[in-house]
Amino acid sequence: ETGVTQSPTHLIKTRGQQVTLRCSSQSGHNTVSWYQQALGQGPQFIFQYYREEENGRGNFPPRFSGLQFPNYSSELNVNALELDDSALYLCASSLQLALEQYFGPGTRLTVT
Amino acid sequence: LAKTTQPISMDSYEGQEVNITCSHNNIATNDYITWYQQFPSQGPRFIIQGYKTKVTNEVASLFIPADRKSSTLSLPRVSLSDTAVYYCLVGEVDSSYKLIFGSGTRLLVRP
Q: What per-residue confidence (pLDDT) applies to A24?
A: 96
Q: Does A95 have pLDDT greater than 90?
A: no
How far apart are the C-alpha atoms of A50 and A52, rounded to whole Å? Answer: 5
Q: What per-residue confidence (pLDDT) applies to B29?
A: 87
Q: Does A87 have pLDDT greater than 70?
A: yes
The pLDDT tens digits of the residues spanning A51-75 come to: 899 988 999 999 999 999 999 999 9
Q: What per-residue confidence (pLDDT) applies to B102?
A: 83
Q: Does A98 have pLDDT greater than 90?
A: no
- Angstroms from A51 CA to nearest CA on chain B: 12
Residues in chain A whose Cβ is within 8 Å of chain B: 4, 31, 33, 35, 41-45, 48, 55-56, 58, 88, 90-92, 94, 97-106, 108
Q: Do A94 and A74 contact (CB within 8 A), yes or no?
A: no
Which residue of chain B is at minimal alpha-carbon distance from A95? B97
Which residue of chain A is at minimal alpha-carbon distance from B86? A42
Q: What per-residue confidence (pLDDT) applies to A1?
A: 57
- Angstroms from A18 CA to nearest CA on chain B: 23
Residue contact A100–B49, C-beta within 8 A? yes
State the pairing for strand pair A31-37/A44-50: antiparallel
Residue contact A106–B87, C-beta within 8 A? no
**Res. A48 pLDDT band, cuts 50 70 90:** very high
Residues of chain B predicted below pLDDT 50: 93
Q: Name which residue leads in pLDDT, A1 or A88.
A: A88
- Angstroms from B51 CA to nearest CA on chain A: 12
Residue contact B32–A55, C-beta within 8 A? no
- Angstroms from B67 CA to nearest CA on chain A: 21
As to burial, measured by CB atoms within 10 angstroms (0-12 exposed, 13-18 middle, 19+ buried), residue B89 is: buried
Which string of DSSP letters, residue by residue, matches chain B?
A: ----B--SEEEEETT--EEEEEE-TT--TT--EEEEEE-TTS--EEEEEESSEEEE-SS-EEEE-TT-SEEEEEESS--GGG-EEEEEEE--SSTT--------EEEEEE-
Q: What per-residue confidence (pLDDT) applies to B3?
A: 82
